[in-house]
Chains A and B, each alone.
Chain A
Amino acid sequence: MMKNRLMDLLKNVSAYTVICLYSIFAIFPLIWLVIISFKSDTQMYNTTFIFTPTLDNYKIVLFEGADYIQAFINNIIVSGGAVLLSLLVGVPAAYAFARYNFAKKEDLAFTILSFKFAPEILVILPLFMIYQKIGLYDTYFGLIWVYQLITLPLLIWVLRGYFEEISVEVEQAANLDGYPWYSVFWKILVPLIKPGLVASSLLAFIFAWNSFTFPLLLSGFQIETVTVAALRYIGSDTVHYGQMAVAAAVAALPEVVLALIIQKHLVRGLSFGAVKG
């Protein structure tokens, strides 16, 4: 008995040590990012934790020149739009892949996934030419469309796994009770796949939000996104790390807020299953 308890204790201690070590590794750069966002260029290299904090970086990024705010709004439109569009077409598609058995099913599913294989730079030049021709260059819809390459395969493939986990009897029972298909879908299936839905939407949003090559090369005059804008603080005179940190921290805000909002949905997923490690 004693031995077992000791083992348990040891296990707990080592588990917490691992978690803590990883957490320090994961979180410290973020803390550092926040710290340097309060440092002036002058003190950037010569001080560590003790310095004269300043809000200048925030002032410059947020208020001097409306560029960054505009980029931020653009990013919300483009990334939000991309995820919404992906959800709209992706959830039904994932359902179909999971539920129906039809000719060429795996081929079609794999085809959708394979669009994500193409290195962005492989298709960027032809894409640029087409966008110029059909007037999608430098437009919101142009970016939302091309972002589907980032968001859609992820959503479909993650959600497909969730749909497959749901037994078909649940659905049939609801059908027999006389619910129309859309309320079965909405009231029964969607709550069941919620953990996957929120997790994959969040991931899709994050990847769209941080996308770099596509917005860099397919927009620029009218629409600029935050990642491209944040790199601008590498001015040629010097790297304004403080301003870049502000830009990065501000850019991460919507993602953080989103993650906090969905936290409780992620937890609710626990209600139908718990695991002991």
Chain B
Amino acid sequence: MKKSKSIKIFVSVLVILVLSMNMMACSTPAGETDTEGDAAAVEGFSWDMASGSTIKVMFNQHPYAEAIIKKIPEFTEETGIEVEYSLTPEENYFDKLTIALNSRSGDPDLFMTGAYQIWEYAPAGYTADLDQFLNDPNMVDPSYDVDDFYEGIIGGLRWDLKAGHKIGTGPLWALPLGFESNVLAYNKRVFDEMDLEVPTTMQELLAVCEELKEFGGPGTYPLAIRGARNWGTIHPGYMTTYSNYGAVDFTIEDGKLISQVNSPEAVEMTEMWVDLIEVGGAPSWSSYTWYQAGADFGAGKAAMLFDATCNGYFQNPEGASEEAGNLAWVAPPLPEGKTEINSNLWTWSMAMNEASKNKTAAWLFLQYFTSADYQKWSITEGNCVDPPRKSVFESQEVQDVLATNTGYIEAFNATVPGTTIQFTPQPHFFQTTTEWAATLQDIVAGNYDSVQEGMDQLKKTMDEIVADVEAE
């Protein structure tokens, strides 16, 4: 008796609350902006045309962000724009960002993002199309040369919003702050001492791993690669090698995305990868993220690192790690018989909130911190690496800085032409790659009888996840 009455009251309170919430939502339509108006009012480009406004920027904790933050006072002085920012650890950054964008409040005006996130954010209308600014001569500093960006890098941030369509066409959703391709880094000291050849094929890599088992006593191991249960495990070395084996993640059949992770190439590649982990990987591989992989390599606990270019690079400056100065780079090893180098691309970029109420000011910020001048400074003074601009990479000062890292420039040059996003753009990217990583963990743990069986299962799971995607 009493119970049903109080449940009734509870339910009716809920109903009232939900109704009132919906009314609130209806009465305040999502943030309308009038940027077009104030942009048109400006005649000719000048850095102080948005003087007096305040913008909010969300940064992920990263050297790129730290370098920008150092330069914010200069930016404010030159433009009269005040900048408020938040700096969030990477593990939690995108959760915070997604909630903020979804609220359509206009905060933050600008945010750091990667290309994969754009596959979610752009179709939802969270990110502003940057072509509208780039194509407006009144909005662009004459010295800002957008063609200076490597085509493959900036192309990774263009997309026509159609699931299954490759990146590279359509509106520009962000501008790159830097990028990562994936290469093999090795400890020169260890290789010299043991008189080993640097591997150029996957088979050689596996053979070298056999040689390097416990090369420096207990706790040391041959090859650091990521293994944690998220997308971070799939996109660096794994996806690079996956594409070098000629495998693809999805094909489109009858307007549906069909997972190809159990194709012969994919299975052959994954078998190789699992062998590498078993022979050469860290004992606690399955909890390894970017940090542990890089740190072990820098500490001399791992002899090689198959990961993003800059992961090893950050370990190499004097004082950064035990093995600083001993680290060297080569292009990613290829399967036997292949010559063309592919590498998967990650690019930390900055995008604008479509709901921003300070778009002109935000655009000036974006332009300032993607300019050649700033990006050159960020490398020579700001602990950044891998400039997305050709002129910056080729400038003498930058070459001088990079030349202190053995093989870095050569590996960079060999890899950049084939560096692009090897994934098929689709909105469930994070779910499919997390499942992928979990399956890889299960295969390594021996929970499947064969790699084929694990990948067959993964294909089914992935097909279910993307079942609602309409692809062209």
Contact = CB atoms under 8 A, between A and B. Distances in A.
Interface string A100-133: 0000000100000000000000001100110011
A42 B92 CA distance: 27
A245 to B, nearest CB: 15
Interface in A118-163: 124-125, 128-129, 132-133
Contacts of B295: 44-45, 238-239
Interface stretch (A11-19, A88-96, A213-221): A213-221
Given A45-B299, A107-B6, A216-B96, A228 B88 contact: yes
A193 interface: no
A169 interface: no
Contact of A238 (B28, B87, B88, B291): B291
B61 A236 contact: yes
B61 A234 contact: yes
Contact of B291 (A43, A216, A234): A234
Nearest to B106: A132
Contacts of B92: 216, 231
A236 B61 CA distance: 6
Interface in B126-184: none
A135 B96 CA distance: 18
Interface in A215-243: 216-217, 220-222, 224, 228, 231-232, 234-239
B95 A238 contact: no
Given A237-B383, A239-B291, A42 B320 contact: yes
Given A46-B299, A217-B95, A236 B320 contact: no
Interface residues on A, range: 20 to 34
A234 B89 CA distance: 7
Interface of A: 40-46, 107, 124-125, 128-129, 132-133, 216-217, 220-222, 224, 228, 231-232, 234-239
A132 B103 contact: yes
Given A40-B319, A46-B299, A216-B96, 9 more contacts: A46-B322, A221-B85, A221-B86, A228-B88, A232-B89, A234-B89, A237-B383, A238-B294, A238-B298
B117 interface: no
Contacts of B298: 45, 238
20 contacts: A41-B320, A42-B321, A44-B299, A45-B298, A46-B322, A217-B96, A224-B86, A231-B89, A231-B91, A234-B91, A235-B62, A235-B63, A236-B61, A236-B63, A236-B90, A236-B290, A236-B314, A237-B383, A238-B291, A238-B314
B299 to A, nearest CB: 4
A217 B92 CA distance: 9
A216 B88 contact: yes
B461 interface: no
The SS class assigned to the B binding surface is mixed
Contact of A220 (B28, B88, B321): B88
A133 B27 CA distance: 12
B300 interface: yes
Interface residues of B, number: 43
B164 to A, nearest CB: 30
Contacts of B85: 221
B301 interface: yes
Interface in B67-95: 84-92, 95
Contact of A235 (B28, B61, B321): B61
Given A220-B86, A232-B87, A238 B322 contact: no
B1 interface: no
B380 interface: no
Contacts of A44: 295, 299
Nearest to A212: B92
Contacts of A239: 291, 295
B279 interface: no
B322 A220 contact: no
B260 interface: no
Contacts of B90: 234, 236
Contacts of A133: 24, 28
A224 B87 CA distance: 9
A122 to B, nearest CB: 14
Contacts of B63: 235-237
Contacts of B95: 216-217
Contacts of A238: 291, 294-295, 298, 314-315, 320-321
A44 B291 CA distance: 14
Interface string B251-264: 00000000000000
Contacts of A40: 319
B99 interface: yes
Contacts of A231: 61, 89, 91-92
A45 B382 CA distance: 25
A164 B416 CA distance: 73
A245 B286 CA distance: 24
Contacts of B88: 216, 220, 228, 232
